[in-house]
Amino acid sequence: MYALSGDSTFASHAATVLGTAIPVLVLFYLFMSIRWIGPSEVGLVIKHITFLRLSDDNPIAFEGEAGYEAVLLMPGLRFKAWLFYSVRKFPWVQVPAGEIGVVVAQIGQPLSIGAKSAVYREEFGNFTDLRAFIKNGGQKGVQRPVLPPGTVAPIHPVGFLVVTKQRVYGEPISPELRARVKDGGGLALDAFGLAPEQLDLVRIESLVGKDGSSEDTIGIVTTYEGEPLLSGEVAGRPGGFADVEEFETHRAHVSEIIGALLGGRNHLHKNYQDFQAFLDHGGKIGLQHDPLLCGAYALNPFLISVELVPALFVRQGEVAVIKAYVGVSTADAPPDAEQKLWPLVRPGHHGVWQETLPPGKYPINPRCYEAEIVPSILHLSWGEEAREDDAMDATLPQIVARSQDGFVFKIDLQAQIHVRGGRAPILISQVGTMRTLVKKVLHAAICNHFRSLLLATPAVRIIEGRHQIQEEASAYVRGLLEPYQVETDGVSIQDIALPEVLVEALTQREIAHQEIETIRAQRGAQEERIALEQAKGTAEMQSALARSKVGLEIVSNNAAARTEEARVESKHIRITGGARGSRPKRTDWPAPGAAGPA
């Protein structure tokens, strides 16, 4: 009886304890099963107890298997049965302004052979729906789109890793990545081979030089995904150059073709920001034809790299001749092996464009097109004066030549050449570049001309015949440039540096000439002095000469008067005497000695 009484007491106490403990345990279990997810967090659920198991290549449970659950717990109070589930908290993915986030999928189908990134479909969105990603054929590896600046998204931390400049979001599951997790932290950027600056927006903006001038830049794009380029191609362009052929079929104006080539086809893939669209439109791996203009771009650093280069600037008084290394295959003959001519082609074809680019700025890819700037007027100097480093004549030295009698002359020259804009493509097709024309054609020919001419001419004649030598050189240069359709005003000899020995001899000879001229001048002065004295003496005797002339005239006049008087007197006497002889003689004249009549 006592035994039964004790058993009943124990049972009563046990029932009391159990009645108290079970609610406590239930409350404790419920408390442990309630999870608080912060406002900027997601809860990763891990299921521990189940009879279902995951496949070997899938770490996430979509059908109630044990392991990481596909569905995340959103912010707030959430219930997950304790012991059956555990929950780990992860922050929402946040991409700061001015940066991008690169998404790397850890689940999905494997990449196709040769692929470096996963195919993207619109159903994937911004990778917040893991089930939609798997259902629509999402692939493991680097995803082609990047998360733009300002993105805030609850992305599954096991399904995806998101690489930003500040941190890597997510839980790595591959042994290689887990081995690179730092103590007390997560993965670093170097685990993916990235530098921090690669996760910034790609900015293309004008550069400011030291002198304060701005220089426009463009971005040359290289892609690391896509079909390979065809044999002979150096750059890819979505759709190739089919649009150029269509323009030609419809006889479009050449300006439309040039506009289409310079305008690019970046609108098809949002300036390489939609890499899937780039591939869908036939984008190929390697150098791209179309550059990026000024702006900021969210580009995947695993798939795209950008090199900044200056835009083409054609100044006033210049034209740009385009040598195209890409374009439609032309039916024109290839470059002539003997004359080394490039084929002249229509814009959009491979070769030297027949049309030049006038003054302006152009976003032209220098890896696909080589622009040769041709000035309408080019001044060249051969000499030792200082010139700009990038000038055409920066390296043109003095012309050094030896005369027939062995004297060495150093000659400074100047020349001015004119290239008409319409003739510039012909010139470039013949010589390649303006520097080739200046250095290998003009400079070499002028040097040879002066050396040959001076070698056959004595030194003195070189000095005395400078003008003639200049005229011969001008005629020679005109004939030299005529096949290239280049005009010139001729060659001007600026200075001739004479040998010291010749200078000394010429100086002595000039001194002797000057002495001779001095003596001649002195002799002339003496002769002039004598002439002057003679003139002075003559002037002084003029009065006496005049008086003597007057005296002679007076004497002459007196003699003539006397002669006339004598003639008159003689005539008178004759007449008087005749008259007396005709009268009778008087007889009453007294006798000599007798007194006359009273």
The string of pLDDT tens digits covering residues 491-504 is: 888 887 777 766 67
Q: Which pLDDT belongs to residue 383?
A: 82
**How does residue 532 score in pLDDT terms, banded at 50, 70 and 90?**
confident
Give the long-range contacts of residues 381-386, CB within 8 A, separation 24 or more: 381/412, 381/413, 381/414, 381/494, 382/411, 382/412, 382/413, 382/414, 382/443, 382/446, 383/412, 383/413, 383/494, 383/495, 384/412
**Rg (alpha carbons) of the chain, rounded to whole number:** 58
The DSSP bridge partners found for residue 87 are 45
The predicted model scores a pTM of: 0.75
How far are the Cα atoms of 47, 214, 343, 377, 570 from residue 354, in angstroms, in the given order? 72, 31, 9, 20, 123
Checking if the pLDDT of 442 tops 70, the result is yes
Collapsed DSSP state (helix, strand, coil) of residue 364:
coil
- Mean pLDDT, residues 101-127: 94
Q: Which pLDDT belongs to residue 202?
A: 96
Q: Identify the burial level of 256 via C-beta atoms within 10 angstroms of its C-beta, where 0-12 means exposed, 13-18 middle and 19 or more buried.
A: middle
Question: Mean pLDDT across the chain, nearest whole number?
Answer: 84
Output the six-digit token pair for 381: 């100097």
Q: Which pLDDT belongs to residue 596?
A: 46
Pick the range with the lowest mean pLDDT from 155-159, 187-191, 550-554: 550-554
The answer to whether residues 221 and 272 touch, using CB atoms and an 8 Å cutoff, is: yes
How far are the Cα atoms of 21, 206, 219, 247 from residue 357, in angstroms, in the given order? 92, 22, 21, 19
Q: Which pLDDT belongs to residue 338?
A: 42
Q: Which pLDDT belongs to residue 340?
A: 52
N-term to C-term CA, the chain: 265
Output the six-digit token pair for 402: 């030896």
**Residue 93 backbone class (left: φ over 0; alpha: ψ -120 to 50; beta: rest):** beta
Q: Which pLDDT belongs to residue 598?
A: 39
Q: How far apart (Å, rounded) are the C-alpha atoms in residues 454 and 448?
A: 10
